[in-house]
């Protein structure tokens, strides 16, 4: 029976949990996640976790923070002046926003603190600093993605 290897496109059902058992994501009720193993489209620990699985296999993998979304980076916390917000907006802790980096790229941030004249924004991934656990079920191995796709 075929085993998953780098370059294969696979379909996987998953249930992601934090160390305290809190679910942060799941494919339950949706189509399985489809991705190419080794392409960098999922976190490294997820790629490593499915490698070697066979269709129908189920397993639980534990992904340390450095193979997940990395450590929280202090340089991704920034203070932003309140007068730069639209006048009708009332910033609140936990509010999710999108910012532009000036080169036209947008990225998500979360307000972590509201001060007198500014707010503190966090641009870290919401799962940064977390070890993750995934229950996996391999649904399908499609083989390698084609290099040339017919129109």
CATH number of 54's domain:
3.10.50.40
Q: What is the extent of the structural domain holding 94?
A: 74-122
Residue 151: inside a domain: no
Using an 8 Å Cβ cutoff, are 139 and 123 in contact? no
Task: Tell me the CA distances in angstroms from 17 to 60, 64, 77, 135, 136, one per residue in order.
Answer: 11, 12, 25, 8, 12
Please state the domain count of the chain: 2
Mean pLDDT of the region 80-91: 91
Model pTM above 0.85? no
CATH number at residue 103: 2.40.10.330
- If asked whether residues 113 and 59 sit together in one domain, one would say no
**Domain-embedded: residue 3:** no
Please indicate, yes or no, whether residues 56 and 42 belong to a single structural domain of this protein.
yes
54 secondary structure, DSSP code: B
Domain shared by 60 and 26, yes or no? yes
Reduce the DSSP state of residue 149 to 3 states and report it. coil
From CA 137, how far away is CA 57, in angstroms rounded? Answer: 6
Let me know if residue 149 belongs to a domain: no
Residue 50 included in any domain: yes
Note whether residue 61 is domain-resident.
yes
Residue 1 within a domain: no
List pLDDT tens digits, range 46-67. 999 999 999 999 999 999 999 9
Note the pLDDT tens digit of each residue in 108-122.
Answer: 999 999 999 999 999
Question: Does residue 55 fall inside a structural domain?
Answer: yes
* pLDDT tens string 8-25: 999 999 999 999 999 999
**Are 136 and 72 a contacting pair, CB within 8 Å?**
no
- The overall average pLDDT reported for the chain is 92
């Amino acid at each position: 029976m075929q085993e998953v290897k780098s370059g294969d496109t696979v379909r996987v059902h998953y249930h992601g949990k934090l160390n305290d058992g809190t679910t942060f994501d799941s494919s339950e009720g949706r189509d399985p996640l489809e991705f190419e193993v080794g392409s960098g489209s999922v976190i490294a620990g997820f790629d490593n976790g499915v490698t070697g699985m066979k269709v129908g296999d189920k397993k639980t993998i534990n992904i340390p923070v450095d193979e997940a979304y990395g450590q929280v980076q202090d340089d991704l916390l920034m203070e932003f002046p309140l007068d730069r917000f639209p006048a009708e907006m009332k910033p609140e802790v936990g509010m999710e926003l999108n910012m532009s980096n000036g080169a036209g790229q947008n990225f998500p941030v979360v307000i972590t603190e509201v001060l007198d004249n500014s707010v503190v924004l966090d641009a870290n991934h919401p799962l940064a600093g977390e070890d993750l656990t995934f229950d996996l079920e391999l649904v399908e191995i499609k083989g390698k993605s084609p290099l040339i796709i017919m129109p």
